[in-house]
């Protein structure tokens, strides 16, 4: 047996993004330790990896310390959709803050390089468009989304303070709307909401008039971006936006889903939720220049793959 490239820890490894990352790291020759408490994920996402001798799973909550030996840490653990993170907002903040402290402490002890997935939510409802990494955001610190938004902002603070104070090799990625196979069918995110409703013959729910925008990134593009960031020079710390700069209105997305699924159920319009961003689009100049990365999968292609996944899993 060939020697592994290294030992990679993926927190939140049974989640939507984490499971794809574990899969890719194994394919690239790493020993992979997947850590998850299954709060918003499922063992089904990693079932196909369990027979791989280089894959190991630990059921663990990152708000408690973890004592393992690793070379690289991908810290993804945190509920990322409003339905999940608002179910227990105090725990969401603890996961973002205590979880980051524990993983940074592990990186400090082992000398591991550590990457965290922050979020475009740190920009809040932005007054700058598109969003660049030097924009400080427009976040309501006491609103119903603050447990996630401010939790991630605090996590970024911790990463950069550990870097300055202890010399840790850190990487901070700000993820924009990502979609694809293994999304939770009831996570409240717009792509899964639309696709599942369409396949079940229910009306698509659009909040507001559908003119608000998002930029949708297919999972395979994101995984390439995360690996490029982790493997970049040590002085490339981020934060770096990882997203697809193609901007679509929610109404346009609904139209695409209706077209590709063939549903005739129509659309229901409801009021906009509190603090829901009106516009969201990444400026990825920094990712292009420092990582040589940009997404390549158009929304129509990624959406068709996602719809097929849900067709297969919902039947």
Asked whether the bond before 268 is cis by omega within 30 degrees of 0, the reply is no
User: Whole-angstrom Cα distance, residue 297 to residue 275?
Assistant: 30
Cβ of 223: how many Cβ atoms within 10 Å? 19
Cβ atoms of 149 and 205 within 8 Å: the answer is no
Closest CA to 73 of 100, 24, 112: 112
- Most trustworthy range by pLDDT among 95-109, 142-156, 263-277: 95-109
Q: pLDDT tens digits for 129-181?
A: 999 999 999 999 998 988 889 999 999 999 999 999 999 999 999 999 999 99
Supply the range of the domain harboring residue 118: 7-314
Instruction: Give pLDDT, residue 105.
Output: 98
121: Cα within 13 Å, side-chain hemisphere: 27
* pLDDT surpasses 80 at 275: no
**Bond before 96 cis per omega within 30 degrees:** no
Number of neighbouring beta carbons within 10 Å of residue 141: 9
For the segment 190-206, the average pLDDT, to the nearest whole number, is: 94
Write down the pLDDT at residue 84.
Answer: 67
Query: How much of the chain, in percent, has pLDDT values that exceed 70?
Result: 97
Q: Is residue 306 part of a domain?
A: yes
Burial 3-19 (b: 16+ CB within 10 A, else e): ebebbbbbbbbbbbbbb
Q: Is residue 146 part of a domain?
A: yes
Taking the C-alpha atoms of residue 46 and residue 34, their distance in angstroms, rounded to an integer, is 9
CATH of the domain at 30: 3.40.50.720
- Please report which confidence band the pLDDT of residue 279 belongs to, taking 50, 70 and 90 as the band edges: confident
35 belongs to a structural domain: yes
Please say if the pLDDT value at position 246 is more than 80: yes
- pLDDT given at position 36: 96
Residue 2 lies in a domain: no
What is the rounded CA–CA span in Å between residue 200 and residue 144?
29
CA 261 to CA 282: how far, in whole Å? 28
> 4 pLDDT exceeds 80?
no
CA-to-CA distance for 77 and 153, rounded, in angstroms?
Answer: 15
Q: What is the mean pLDDT of the chain?
A: 93
Q: What is the pLDDT of residue 86?
A: 77
Is 154 within 8 Å of 101 (Cβ atoms)?
Answer: no
Locate 51 and state its tokens. Answer: 């027979």
Q: What is the pLDDT of residues 72-88, one digit of tens each?
A: 999 999 877 676 677 78
In a domain, 168, yes or no: yes
Separation of alpha carbons 132 and 282, rounded Å? 7
> What is the average pLDDT across 120-131?
92
pLDDT, tens only, 26-65: 999 999 999 999 988 889 999 999 999 999 999 999 999 9
Q: How confident is the model at residue 232 (pLDDT cuts 50, 70, 90)?
A: very high
C-beta of residue 8 within 8 angstroms of C-beta of residue 70: yes
Asked which of 13-27, 60-74, 270-284 is least confident by mean pLDDT, the reply is: 270-284
Residue 1 has pLDDT above 60, yes or no: no
Q: Is 135 a catalytic residue?
A: no
> At residue 280, does pLDDT exceed 80?
yes
Return the closest-CA partner of residue 243 out of 223, 216, 220.
216
Decide if 1 is inside a domain: no
Does residue 169 fall inside a structural domain?
Answer: yes
Position 274 confidence tier, pLDDT thresholds 50, 70, 90: confident
pLDDT at 2 over 70: no
The CA angle 8-192-284, to the nearest 5 degrees, is: 60
Reply yes or no: is the peptide bond before residue 196 cis, omega within 30 of 0: no
Q: Residue 2 carries which DSSP code?
A: P
Task: Determine, yes or no, domain membership for 76.
Answer: yes
Selecting among 39, 148, 162, 179, the annotated active-site residue is 148
How many domains, in total, are found in the chain? 1
């Amino acid at each position: 047996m060939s020697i592994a490239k290294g030992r990679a820890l993926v927190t939140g490894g049974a989640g939507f993004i984490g499971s794809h990352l574990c899969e890719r790291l194994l394919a690239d020759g790493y020993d992979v330790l997947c850590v998850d408490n299954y709060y918003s994920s499922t063992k089904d996402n990693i079932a196909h990896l369990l027979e791989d001798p280089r894959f190991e799973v630990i059921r663990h909550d990152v708000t408690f310390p973890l004592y393992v030996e690793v070379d690289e840490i991908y810290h993804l653990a945190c509920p990322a959709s409003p339905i999940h993170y608002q179910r227990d907002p105090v725990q969401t903040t603890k996961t973002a803050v205590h979880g980051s402290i524990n993983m940074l402490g592990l990186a400090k002890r082992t000398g591991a390089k550590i990457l965290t997935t922050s979020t475009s939510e740190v920009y809040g409802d932005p007054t700058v468009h598109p969003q660049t990494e030097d924009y400080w955001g427009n976040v309501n610190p006491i609103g119903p989304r603050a447990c996630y938004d401010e939790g991630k902002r605090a996590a970024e603070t911790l990463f950069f303070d550990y870097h300055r104070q202890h010399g840790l090799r850190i990487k901070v990625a700000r993820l924009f709307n990502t979609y694809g196979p293994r999304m939770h069918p009831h996570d409240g995110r717009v792509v899964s909401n639309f696709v599942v409703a369409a396949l079940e013959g229910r009306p698509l729910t659009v909040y507001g008039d559908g003119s608000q925008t998002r930029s949708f990134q297919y999972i395979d593009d994101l995984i390439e971006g995360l690996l490029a960031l982790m493997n970049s020079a040590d002085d490339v710390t981020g934060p770096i936006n990882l997203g697809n700069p193609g901007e679509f209105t929610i109404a346009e997305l609904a139209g695409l889903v209706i077209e590709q699924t063939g549903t005739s159920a129509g659309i229901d319009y409801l009021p906009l939720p509190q603090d829901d961003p009106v516009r969201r689009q990444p400026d990825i100049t920094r990712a292009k220049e420092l990582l040589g990365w940009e997404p390549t999968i158009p929304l129509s292609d990624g959406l068709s793959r996602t719809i097929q996944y849900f067709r297969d899993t919902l039947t």
